[in-house]
A and B are shown apart, each in its own frame.
Chain A
Amino acid sequence: MNRKSQFLTGAAGLIALGVALTSYAVAQDAGAYTAAQADQGHADYVAKCAGCHRANLAGGGDAPAVGGNGFMTSFGGRSTKDLYNFIAKSMPAGAPGSLSEEQYTNITAYLLYANGAKAGSRPLSKDTDVKVSTIADGKVVADAIKPPTLGKMAAMEARAAQEAAPPPQGLTVKGTVKNYVDVTDDMLTHPVDGEWLMYRRNYQGWSFSPLKQITPDNVKNLTLKWAWNMNEGGASQVTPIVHAGVMFLSNTSNTVQALDARTGELIWENRIGPVSKIAYGGTRSLAVYHDKVYVATTDAKIHALDARSGKIVWDQTLGNPNNSNTGGVMVMRGKVLTGLTGCDNYSENNCYISAFDADTGKRDWKFFTTALEGQPGGDTWNGLPNLLRGGGDTWIAGTYDPELNTTYWGVAQTKPWFRASRKSGNASTLYSSSTLALNPDDGKLKWYFQHAPGESLDLDEVFERVLIDHGDQKTLMTIGKPGILWKLDRVTGKFLAAKETIFQNVFANIDQKTGAVTYRKDILNQKTNQWFSSCPGPEGGHDWQATSYYQPDDLLIIPLSQSCVMIQGHDVDQKLGGGGTAASQKFFFMPGTHQNMGKLVAYRTSDMKEVWSWQQRSPFLSAVLSTAGGVAFVGDFNRSFKAVDVKTGKIIWQTRLGNTVQGYPVSFSLDGKQYIAVASGLGGGSPQQKPTMLLNEVHRASTGHQLYVFGLPD
């Protein structure tokens, strides 16, 4: 190269460098949002989003991470416009579109800032169209996840005060339950026909009422006797508990009420708090024992209230601040048993089932549902340290066999959902996705059966364990999100049978001798950041909407949902506070169902044969209640509460409620008259999210937590 060429090359290089530097400066100045937007967006995020996605952006429950690898995997290749649209059209969960355009824009700006994008002078708008990966690198900005400054917090609180005055807390309505009768162990073991003393009415988890006044012939005459508006906000998935003419009711925001079951008159109310911020997880059930009502709250505490007055007698901490409790409580032999949820982020706490002395609140025992290092089952985690053993939540209360003195619990999957994300290899990760048989006296494990070793697609096997006897054979039936109905020997844990109740493509084979499942080969060979089909998806199959065992005909009546997802696992930070569920999802109808998301089916449990089934467009969001009169009740996403003839499955009565029929219907009697109580409700994870996305024609109000009590005409 001659001198002239060298000069020209150097000049060109300098010019190119100058152009590049100028472009860089312009790019810096032309940040896609302003600092003021991100600042305001931080406040909006804390107020509206952090309850699910967490203040550190790590995600939790069904809410994916919105910071770091998870964010970049989902949105790095998409535009800021896509990000805005995603948030504005689908968030907050359960109330999409409920924020202003300015709020959505600010939250979008905040997420860009938190993921490393630089602010500039040009404000972000809903039409700003810049590829996210060109401005953000996914390195979470430390300042972005610090708690808001005092000034910012004050501004947030001022705005929150403008929106709604914080409700009063504590014993807000004082009164006394007259004629209350202490609940004994014998009453729990042999409940009187007209009462509903626990979650699934009996220890065996049947959701079956022996009352027979309401029949297929007269059910058409049901009329509304009284109704009651419940707390709004959060997720309502309530089981009314009825004893001594009183209905004890758990509301969102951890409020407990005692109502006169005849009239709906409020007797006392305790707003224990805190006010619900997490969209997911209603308090599914209270428990009553002796002179107390027990409630486990969404801030992972357990409280004993005086049943007569509602005053708190004792309370205890269940877990750490990230934990929660939604599954409710059960009382067995003088102990209050409850699970724990919110175990998706890496924590030194791990997840466990607890037992407390019912009288004093003293904790008796803990059983860790993620087997720890050095303990039995602890070698099934591919060498991961205890800190990285996420999940194992117990978000449905267990059942109990008094004769065997054994309590049965389902355990949810490992977190993060994908084994590629959590780096557990093909290890089984005990005791995830298992049935546990525990001694309620000391929490010792009697046996376990793992339904889905090393589960990867958010397909919980955590739901109700129903205890059914066939002659001398004592069985346990359960069904999880894959829609496989399992039958186990509940004395030994031995596998007896498995039946696919809906289409599934997750397991290539289920060994009918051992119950061992074989995953589809691409699931076994998974990597992060790849999409996988899951039919059913995280809605289930079967979800928390529990079955009912109609004992006279040996029928297990099961509400099922039919939807699929494409699901993609993300890389996670393997450190304290990291982890999370760490996945993105896309939704689609289950092939071959003609877009019928709801399916109700009855199986005879002795031979696992289907007796009847039918499908409908809308999935069921309530549990099933069956009654000895031969009528079963169930409600759906599209507000329809239905009665069906248990022998044929034929719909014989239906009415429309104010919003989605959600929770656990119960039956009780007073003064010789049978009643059906059912709630409408909003909030929750996949069972709400999937039909919200897939059923375009269903329009629901943004409020509507309400209790309805039906009966025959006087």
Chain B
Amino acid sequence: MDDLLSEFLTETNESLSVLDVELVKLEQNPNDPELLGNIFRLVHTVKGTCGFLGLPRLEALAHASENVLGKVRDGELPVTPAAVTLILESLDAIKSILAALEATEAEPQGDDARLITRLTALANGAAPAAKPVKPKKRATAAVTLGPAREAPQSEIVHGARASEGAVQDGKESKESFVAAQSIRVNVDLLENLMTMVSELVLTRNQLLQILRSQKDSEFGAPLQRLSHVTTELQEGVMKTRMQPIGNAWAKLPRIVRDLSHELGKKIDLCLLGADTELDRQVLELIKDPLTHMVRNSADHGIEQPGERTANGKPEAGTITLNAFHEGGHIIIEISDDGRGLDVDRIKQKALATGLATEVELAAMTDQQIHQFIFKPGFSTAAKVTSVSGRGVGMDVVRTNIEKIGGTVELKSQRSKGSIFTIKIPLTLAIVSALIVECAGERFAIPQISVVELVRAVANSENAIEHVNDTPVLRLRDRLLPLVSLQELLRLGTGRQDAETYIVVTQVGTYTFGIMVDRVFDTEEIVVKPVAPILREISMFSGNTILGDGSVIMILDPNGIAAATGEITVTEHAMRGEVQTRAEARQNLTTLLLFRAGQGGQKAVPLALIARLEEIDVAQVEHSNGKPVVQYRGRLMPLISIDSSCAMKSEGRQPILVFTDQDRSMGLVVDEIVDIIEDHLAIELNGDQPGLIGSAIIAGKATELIDAGFYLTRAFTDWFRASGEADWSGKRTKRVLLVDDSPFFRNLLTPLLSVAGYDVTTVESGDRALTLCEAGEDFDVIISDIEMPGMNGFEFADKVRRAGRWQDTPMVALSSYATPRDLDRGRAAGFSDYVAKFDRDALLNTLSETLSERGAA
């Protein structure tokens, strides 16, 4: 059954019961204006809702009754028993129609003309007939017993199915089936129930604990039973509070449909993640803001069909609602592909209302200007429509969301659309969490951000290593940054066990390991917000009570990531700002500093390095006159930086392992100094093979080594060509490199930046298109062809089709460079096609492409 209809039935049945009583009261106190007013209002509401739902028969009946009541209220008609009887009769008729409506979901056939005529006659002053003729009601032949429905918008306790009420004497006013299925319960009552059940669970757990210490207790069986019932009870009570978010937006399709008719627009509404569950109370509070935002999107966001087609967009606009869980929060995104926010108009309005001065506005980014729409009384709608633009809007939305501890963020781009992101903490939501121990204290980590667990034992393959006291872990060809929970939470400098567990955690795209002493199992926990005086500690997202009754803090991986400086995740920061920062961060390169051979400190991008190894010199063998070492079942050549860098004669030798696909090469170094993150700016070009150039890194002149050079020394066919490229004609041109292989991205970035390009790298076509939408511009795009997801051809096709990059030259990079591929590349819109390993060709092509473009 339609939710709307179901709700209507519940409500109307309630109103009708009230009416029955009120009318009888009225008969006794004919001159009570308050009573009359109340009755009139109830009938009026029934009439109004019928009209809204398109139920003409009900509406006509209710309308006729309302007329009579109106006259009575205005004193034009006296309250006579006959009049009351007639109205009661019409109410009965309404009830019977409702009953049929409930059974068949449609108004029953039938004619109330006679009843209506009599009502109208009464309203017009004629005395009602002494003995009213039974109207032709109970037209419902068969009342079928449908499955029990519930009215989802009300707080429901699933009761016993009151099926016996369904089949009754037709003359009796039948109790509404739907109404009997649900009762309204005060949320406070549920809240109390919840607390009591938690209490019960704790007591149960204590009892079980006692039971465990006593063998063969006669309490065993009953306690098991109690335990079972308690668990079910707990689940049941929790369920009463959780509702799918779909309930909050059940009315949206209808609203959007009506709006699109009213506004003459074509709008598709796309609802994703409707089954994401959240706390009922939270749901209730976000319902109105959500509706409001969707209305806004439909009214302000989506353009008229004509305007859309003129801009090359599909005629029908799309509003998408997407709800999902993320890192202990529920995220709801409301996005539209409309015209986006009009920055200029917001500026004008901000000036006009005195919210900002021209100077202040000039200094603001678009993002900051967008924020004005959240100010009270701010509406940029040119005209006030019935839909929106009345100035009560986004400020109320924001206030409502912030009231429940949530945030709302906005990202908008002219003629592309807007995205509102609502982030709501999981107050009372149930999450699965991993329980860990550190320095004797237990903590919960939301399971959702845990990727895996690693047990690190000293002197084994999974040992924690330190680079300048910074702990790192080698995890499958990667170096994983580690965070010591003990240090982070200042839990004292306790013991350092030989055995440490590492919780590999992911926040966005950033993966790091949290070092803990012990790992227990996972538990379903109820997240409770921390006390206000502790809210400033960003490491915790809440606290909870475990099964054994102890209080435990829930760690917030976002907060930990932010605190360890690797990522900037600020709740209140604009999503856009976060993105820009993340992008700025992309330009930073993590470098491994080391010493080897002659000269000063040397550096190589950390990402190029698969592993840092220390090998026993005794294991080094010689093959074909070159030093090799058996490494993971294969022979790995060892290369020295230069002739002056000799391998140690005994002991352990540090090497940097470079791996691509199945080949590895070890670079012999004297000492590994540090890992730092810095902007890679080559100051001097290297004139020596193997050196890209020199840069200031960590305040020291540092030689940046060309890993490619050493790779070719290890395997001459690693790249087909090597040697010095012609670095002439340097200009700071922006290059976008799209390649799914981190190895090539890291290899080409220094190569291209030394050639004078400003390089931005992304790992997929999708990410590249996001940059495009974010307003980034590049002089040339280099794209790999074989990529998972969107391949290079598809990417080029997308870029060429529309958008700001339409005319940006594109160079394809592929390990396949047959003429057929070339043709296909050109067809897709690539300006040129370069084999992946041909570095010279790439640089030449780039400079050619750019000069051609410059000349054109």
Mutual binders A and B: no
